[in-house]
Structure 1
Amino acid sequence: MPNFDESIAEAARAVRAGDAVVYPTETVYGLGADATDADAVERIFELKGRAREKPLSVGVPDVATAREYTRPTAFEAEFMEAFLPGPVTVVVARGPDLPDVVTAGGDRVGVRIPDYDVTLEFYRRADRPVTATSANRSGDPSVTNPAQLDAGLRSAVGAVLDAGDTPGGTESTVVDPGRNVIHRRGALADDVETWLTDRADAPPTVDD
């Protein structure tokens, strides 16, 4: 894609300016905003038509950055090191810099570190955690190519970081390793179950 580096820079600038952006991951396209800015996060809920009681995950470029904004236990940090970067959302205790709107007032937050260089570079340049929720209206299918974006959503965001088709197309597995719970089975779900069963001495509870 011509000027792809500038496209990443433009998306990062939009996030820092408080705008929403659409960006690719190794699974599906995400809808991102500055996760430390309550007003920007509210905009994500509005764009998706998402219920406020449903928390959002946040994306960061590496585990070290995740630990700046969250408070994982040693066991949870071990899990993060084992599966991130990768198509897994890891639920851990939130830190004080994430506003209540991100977590629906809860004390835990999902963390995403996609195994996709474009996304990681975007997160690095944004220089703050970015909301990591799928770039679709609530109830609609996930987007694996920007051509599938809802027209109203596309026109409302500050930038669309277009990398063509996403490599995976399957949503991430959402897991709370500290509580030994899988909230959503997705990519690598079997590997996550095996890891938790081996190290937690019991198979995880699966919500879905």
Structure 2
Amino acid sequence: MSDDAPTNDDVHRAAAAIRDGDAVVYPTETVYGMGADATSPEAVERVFDIKGRDRDKPLSAGFPDVDSALDYVEVTDREEAFMRRFLPGPVTVVVERRDSLPDVLVSSRERVGVRVPDHELALELFRAAETPVTATSANLSGAGSITNPSQLPDEIHDAVAFVLDGGTTPGTESTVVDPGQGIIHRRGAMADDIEAWLEDES
């Protein structure tokens, strides 16, 4: 790709690659993510393989909005209220998955992380893909997160079908939270606000 900002055509080419079962790299308001069709076991397996990630470490799923996510997860009123308060945003919300999300995505667990990034390019990609998209950092397992495509290792660059270059991202990881259980699994962006909400709504 050129150094110019991604065009609408770039977004649709990346989305087409996702629909074809390939993986792509895309920017978010935290770090760069690796996206593939989160409903396809084969595509999810490809993401694990590219990253060299252990199969017992689940992946999250990205959506263009909360309403789209609710088609693939089961939530309580409290969980939905949390999602509508903090999404889109740098938050991964852990809720119960439906069977339309495959076992391999979540390491056969019953709950899945939901991401709705506060980043227009990511949301455009998710809308164009018309399927849940894996939301995992675009790095080799155990390596540092990627905040600019220039940092992508050759192994990833060569393995993905497309890189959407959105420039440099902020780099603060999302906060991972299970609002139903009131647990913050990983503190990151907006962690204090999330903690306050969990206490106020308990």
Q: Which TM-score applies when normalising by structure 2?
A: 0.97
* Alpha-carbon contact 2:5-2:166 (below 8 Å) kept: no
In 2, distance between residues paired with 1:19 and 1:37?
Answer: 10
SS across alignment from 1:10 = helix
In 2, distance between residues paired with 1:14 and 1:193?
Answer: 38
Q: Which residue of 1 aligns with 2:200?
A: 198
Residue 164 (structure 1) shift: 1.0
Residue 2 (structure 1) shift: 5.4
* Alpha-carbon contact 2:60-2:113 (below 8 Å) kept: yes
Gaps of 5+ in 2: none
In 2, distance between residues paired with 1:152 and 1:199?
Answer: 45
User: Superposition RMSD on alpha carbons, in Å?
Assistant: 0.8
Which among 11, 15, 38 is matched to residue 12 of structure 1? 15
Q: Which TM-score applies when normalising by structure 1?
A: 0.94
After TM superposition, list the pairs within 5 Å mapping 1:35-184 onto structure 2: 35-166=38-169, 168-184=170-186
Equivalent pairs, count:
199
In 1, distance between residues paired with 2:21 and 2:60?
Answer: 17
Residue 28 (structure 1) shift: 0.3
Identity %: 59
Distance change (3 Å), C-alpha of 1:101 and 1:25: same
Residue 29 (structure 1) shift: 0.2
In 1, distance between residues paired with 2:10 and 2:31?
Answer: 18
In 1, distance between residues paired with 2:198 and 2:5?
Answer: 43
SS across alignment from 2:82 = helix
Residue 3 (structure 1) shift: 5.5
Gaps of 5+ in 1: 201-208
Residue 6 (structure 1) shift: 1.1
Q: Which residue of 2 aligns with 1:205?
A: none
Runs of 4+ in 1 over 6 A off after TM superposition: none
Distance change (3 Å), C-alpha of 1:16 and 1:49: same
SS across alignment from 1:178 = coil
CA distances 1:118-140 after superposition (whole Å, capped 9, x unpaired): 11010000000000000000110
